[in-house]
Chains A and B, each alone.
Chain A
């Protein structure tokens, strides 16, 4: 009873568009496109003209879900994470795991997939909570497809 009331309340509150982003990332992405940094690390992130890999596929599907498009920026892990910290990118992928030492400078989302000891995460700017919630919800909805994506990109 209490459980249901709590869940109902939480869903209700979420329905009034809360939480919001202090820097309006989600709104901006929906209008102006998603700026995504990619640090190559197969099979999660494979660079190139048109990036691929498990996470690149997930990001493209996320953009489709939001009705927007992706602008890729390739670089080393520290390059893309620094751009996140400065607010020049909205999202960074590169096979990052939850034990990443950058966690004080950028926010890593809740692990969306666990493989062995590795808790796989993506990086976003600090405090953009609507953006984080939207991304985490999307990734959870695609949880079932990840093993297949992983097989595809590993065998290539």
Chain B
């Protein structure tokens, strides 16, 4: 039983190339937004948090691009299962960074509220005009936010068809950036209206959003690393593939019953299918053919072992909800 050499079927290669291109565009774009925001930070806490959020947004595209290079490496003696988990590890690191920075920024913003810190924002000279820096923050925030939403939106369907959870999390985070932009703009307008607390309050709201992203990503990637039963990319539903595998095999005349146990490694599935044969004639040939059938069933069935057994272990219970 050999491992597939190519990770993606031919039809999906184009999606992958498009995803890589979008991630490169995201990185270049984010870099420009980070520079622009840096020059308009002033003393606004909301701007600072939005700025750090943009810096953190660099992590998922970088993780995606790095893992796209690493995960295609062939399995070898030292890494007999290949490098697929590279994606999950990159995703875990990014999620932890998100969580840690989110908590830090939340504490920092709340401290500013508690200590009644009044943000001072002065003027800058732009094209010979002396302008209150606050007015420049708003276009800078819009510049950083609007294309992020569009890029996030474009990546969502790609993540679905590539079954790539890291890409999905990235797309979702970028798409959700509009909330931060609106909160930060509200903070700046609040300062303009003489409401000193508006800025730190907006910063707290954005920080909470970063923390929430961090928590949900850490939880999801931990589940994946714990070999949680495969789910859809948005984690909303259990993937019906294991029961499809079981049904496929149960349909074969030489199979009395089958139980599949699959896990996700990156965007592909590994696992075992235990089969109780009805007849043992030509068992090896039958298994070989069944194996080919499974490969044809779904491209994500990357490396599945079919094992004939007399009876199932107790722990091989039918997976709850997998019948859908």
Encode A99-141 as 1/0 by CB contact (under 8 A) with B: 0000000010110000000000000111111101100110010
Which 10 A/B pairs are nearest by Cβ-Cβ distance?
A127-B118, A20-B194, A107-B120, A10-B135, A126-B118, A19-B192, A22-B196, A10-B131, A18-B192, A136-B123
Asked if A18 contacts B193 (CB within 8 A), the reply is: yes
Across-interface contacts of A14 in B (CB, < 8 A): 131-132, 135
Determine the distance from Cα of A113 to Cα of B191 in the docked complex, in whole angstroms: 27
Task: Tell me whether B124 is interfacial, beta carbon within 8 Å.
Answer: yes
Across-interface contacts of A32 in B (CB, < 8 A): none
7 of the cross-chain contacts (CB-CB < 8 Å) are A9-B135, A19-B132, A20-B193, A22-B118, A109-B122, A127-B119, A137-B123
Q: Which of B43, B127, B132, B134 has the most CB of A within 10 A?
A: B132
Asked if A129 contacts B132 (CB within 8 A), the reply is: yes
Task: Tell me whether B126 is interfacial, beta carbon within 8 Å.
Answer: yes
Task: Tell me whether A148 is interfacial, beta carbon within 8 Å.
Answer: no
Of B117, B130, B196, which one neighbours A136 at CB under 8 angstroms? B130
Q: Which of B117, B118, B121, B123 has the most CB of A within 10 A?
A: B123
> In the complex, how many angstroms separate the beta carbon of B44 from the nearest chain A beta carbon?
11
Q: Is the interface of B mostly helix, strand, loop or mixed?
A: mixed
Determine the distance from Cα of A21 to Cα of B196 in the docked complex, in whole angstroms: 9
Interface footprint category on B: 20 to 34
Task: Tell me whether A11 is interfacial, beta carbon within 8 Å.
Answer: yes
Chain B residues within CB distance 8 Å of chain A: 43, 117-127, 129-132, 134-136, 139, 191-196
Across-interface contacts of A20 in B (CB, < 8 A): 192-194
Chain A residues within CB distance 8 Å of chain B: 3, 6-7, 9-11, 13-14, 18-24, 107, 109-110, 124-130, 132-133, 136-137, 140
Across-interface contacts of A133 in B (CB, < 8 A): 122-123, 132
Asked if B136 contacts A10 (CB within 8 A), the reply is: yes
Determine the distance from Cα of A124 to Cα of B118 in the docked complex, in whole angstroms: 12
Determine the distance from Cα of A130 to Cα of B123 in the docked complex, in whole angstroms: 10
Across-interface contacts of B119 in A (CB, < 8 A): 126-127
> Are A132 and B122 CB-contacts (below 8 A) given A19-B191, A19-B194, A127-B196?
yes
Of A3, A9, A24, A128, which one neighbours B118 at CB under 8 angstroms? A128
